[in-house]
Amino acid sequence: MNGIDGPILQASHLLGADTLSLDEINALLDLAETYVTVNRAEQKKRALLKGRTLINLFFEASTRTQSSFELAGKRLGADVLNMSVKTSSVAKGETLLDTATTLNAMRPDILVVRHQDSGAAELLSRKVDCCVVNAGDGAHEHPTQALLDALTIRRRRSVEGLVVAICGDVLHSRVARSNIIILQKLGARVRLAAPRTLLPPQADRLGAEVYTDMCAALDGADIVMMLRLQLERMSSAFVPSTREYFRFWGLDRNKLRRAKPGALVMHPGPMNRGVEIDSAVADDGEVSLIQEQVEMGVAIRMAVLDALARGLAGAGRNAP
Amino acid sequence: MSRLAFIDARLIDPAGKLDAPGALYVEEGTIRDLGPRLFHDGMPTGATIIDCKGRALAPGLIDMRVFTGEPGSEHRETLESASLAAAAGGVTTMVVMPNTDPVIDEPSLVDFIKRRAAATARVRVLPMAALSRQLAGEVMTEIGLLKEAGAIAFTDGDRTIASARVMRHVLAYAATFEALVVGHAEDPELTQGAAMNEGEFATRLGIPAGPAAAETVIVERDIRLVELTGARYHFGQISTRAALDAVAKAKAQGLPVTCGVSALHLALNELDVGGYLTFRKVKPPLRSEADRMAMVEGVASGLIDVIVSSHDPQAADTKRQTFAQAAFGAIGLETLLPAALTLYHNESASLLRIVEALAWAPARILGLESGRLDKGAPADLVLFDPDEPFVVDSAQLHSRARNTPFDGRTFQGRVHATYVGGECVFERRAIL
């Protein structure tokens, strides 16, 4: 039913885009395509992960990513447990590694981790026997977001040779880091646009072209990818105010005109309307891919879970 | 519009390295022509002829550091009263500080200053906007919007941003807009409660004092942050040899750093506060004679780019206090040129270099069209006699405040007329 059988991933975890090869990325995207079809059908349930346990371990609040993984797991037939940190023993002072050991003892098959600190998923992966999926670690990586973004773009255009402008708080963004890696591997030219306070030092060493003038960065861009501005950046002296931020780095129709005709707009969500993006752009079905990104999110996560499960002991190569 | 023909002038133009007798022609508020041979073939028709009688005709002074009381403390000084003092001092452009009430940290307030200046001031007024909200050193201001509203540069005036983290962010953010940041170098912790320069004299007077190192600490810090962020940075005023050395090193390194010194710090040293003279209590404090000499050398060599008045009008109630209790600040718009000219008269610096520090250098730093005698430049001019002696009489000064540190002092160098955009805004009446 998958159309693609056999192993996809070399590693038994998905910790970052950095460790994915171009073949692995393409295979995951191809597999995800089949799940888009599944998700659009009336009968969405599969038995691929029947008997498997998936734990969603979210140390940071998340609606979109967590429910996306939950739905992906359930549609593939897994038992899904959501562990929210507020109600867990972590809130009582347990260390990350103790939590890992405890969860490991429950014998899950896949652990999906979101943590505010970079490297948390990798640390956990060394202490557990199951597959670990990084659902976002600090300002480091968010590989499934970048994969779903690539899938969203790929369904409209060939990624090779596209100019993608990633705009906003690059400094604190794991989404930006994963996207820079995956988009470049797929042959896109990546530009970054932000005030200097929100650009990581030596950002040019990531292979992207760096701009402080957003209009210049949008010149001739095929895709405009906006990042969320955390509102606490005001009080910590990165930017002075939301109105100034919107004036110079918020995506509105005027700035979008600088991009290539037919350019498409993306945002990982949740959006701050009137801060990094104007509602007129965000809600314009002609240019905005934002809703489609959410849909692709479930498909990508099903593909990732599927691919990881293929490496689990006792996994049938041709599971139903 | 009127045409003006200045004849028999000593033309002083640092931009063109010109110091020669000649004439200058103004039309429509703009310099149309100038030179030693101008008008040799006859006068232009319909022009008003101004006989300079051999006096110096130079670009109008641009004072990069003027505090006023508008808005909020109009009893100390308004934009209008400051502009009268400016015109009488040959200053054609005042750059006003945001240290008012309310603080100029909002685009609408920049607009207010521009409108008030247009309506009331005799000379050009360029507002600097605050670097941090409320000058509190915590949250940066909307540098992009303020620049669009017309802020010429960004500064917290006589306040130093204490946090290196905030300063770094502010500089990086300002660099995004290629905005000029003007810093004040006095470590707030080291100078807490200080009223004068630390040293033997302060010890003898028993006055709480702050060390010269309080300046160096911040100058060194900010230079390193400029290196990190690439921001354009101007030290509003320095006062010590150590700071000058640090700036010299930064310049040699190619960093976009410039600095100024107040005329006060060229003319006076710490001993001048003797007798607990509160009119000489200023920020930064008057320094040792060695430091003053370093400032003079710095101006002469050009390592110190500009000379400012640091005009800071204070009302009697804040100055008629004990030295420790009195407010900081001294007026200086009208004495800026003669105080600076002491360097010319004691042969420390050339007249061209002094006019450069007062006009051409500020114009370059701020990106202005003025500050030079050139075809097409605005006819912002000062006509002065560099040698004419006079005694400063605080009662005769045009500022609303009286806190001059030079009352009774004899200077050489007197302004006779000032023109802004070809319009005469000040003319000294001949004493019969």
What does the pLDDT look like over B219-255, one tens digit per residue? Answer: 999 999 999 999 999 999 999 999 999 999 999 999 9
pLDDT of residue A319: 41
Q: Are A279 and A4 in contact (CB under 8 A)?
A: no
All residues at 6 or more sequence positions from B54 whose CB lies less than 8 Å from its CB, including other chains: B8, B9, B10, B21
Nearest CA among A253, A263, A270 for reference residue A289: A263
First to last CA, chain B: 32
What distance lies between CA A114 and its chain's CA centroid? 11
Nearest to B88 by CA among B113, B61, B106: B61
Distance CA A174, CA A17 (A): 11
Tens digits of pLDDT across chain A (320 residues): 444 678 899 999 999 999 999 999 999 999 999 999 999 999 999 999 999 999 999 998 888 999 999 999 999 999 999 987 766 666 667 788 888 888 899 999 999 999 999 999 999 999 999 999 999 999 999 999 999 999 999 999 999 999 999 999 999 999 999 999 999 999 999 999 999 999 999 999 999 999 999 999 999 999 999 999 987 776 778 999 999 999 999 999 999 999 999 999 999 989 999 999 999 999 999 999 999 999 999 999 999 999 999 988 776 544 43
Alpha helices (H) in A41-170, listed in sequence order? 64-75, 96-105, 120-125, 143-154
Contact check, Cβ <8 Å, A195/B170:
no
Give the single-character DSSP code of A253. Answer: H
| pLDDT tens digits for range B70-94 | 999 999 999 999 999 999 999 999 9
Amino acid present at B75? H
pLDDT of residue A87: 61
Residues 6+ apart with CB under 8 A from A14: A20, A131, A132, A133, A134, A143, A144, A304, A308
Chain A CB contacts of B229 under 8 Å are: 196
Nearest-CA distance from A279 to chain B in Å?
A: 22
- Which residues 185-214 in chain A show a CB within 8 A of chain B? 195-197, 212
Helix axes A174-185, A143-154, angle to 10 degrees: 50
CB contact under 8 A, B142 and A244: yes
Q: Say what the pTM is.
A: 0.92
Mutate to test the interface with B, among A172, A197, A231, A243 (most CBs of B within 10 A): A197
What angle do the packed helices B241-252 and B289-301 form, to 10 degrees? 30
3-class SS of residue B252: helix
Structure tokens that stand for A223 in this block? 């895709």
What chain A residue is nearest to B107 in terms of C-alpha separation? A244
B168 CA: distance to closest CA in chain A (Å) = 9
Whether chain B has a CB inside 8 Å of the CB on A71: the answer is no
Average pLDDT in the B172-201 region? 97
Give, in order, the Cα–Cα distances in Å from A146 to each of A66, A180, A187, B144: 16, 8, 14, 32
Mapped onto helix, strand or coil, the DSSP state of residue B420 is: strand
Distance of CA B249 to the CA centre of its chain: 24
- HSE-up of B262 (CA within 13 Å, CB side)? 29
The minimum CA-CA distance between B312 and chain A, rounded to whole Å, is 29
pLDDT of A94 reads 79
The ipTM (two decimal places) reads: 0.87
Assess contact for B10 and B57: CB atoms under 8 A: yes
How far does B260 lie from chain A, in Å, by closest CA?
27
User: Residue A171's pLDDT is what?
Assistant: 94
Q: What is the pLDDT of residue A3?
A: 47
Max Cα-Cα span within chain B: 68
Contact A240 B175 (CB under 8 A): no
Ramachandran quadrant class, A248 (left: phi over 0; alpha: psi -120 to 50; beta: rest)? alpha
Q: Is B210 exposed, middle or buried (0-12, 13-18, 19+ CB in 10 A)?
A: buried
For residue A189, the surrounding DSSP H or E stretch is strand A189-193
Token pair of B315, please? Answer: 């009302």
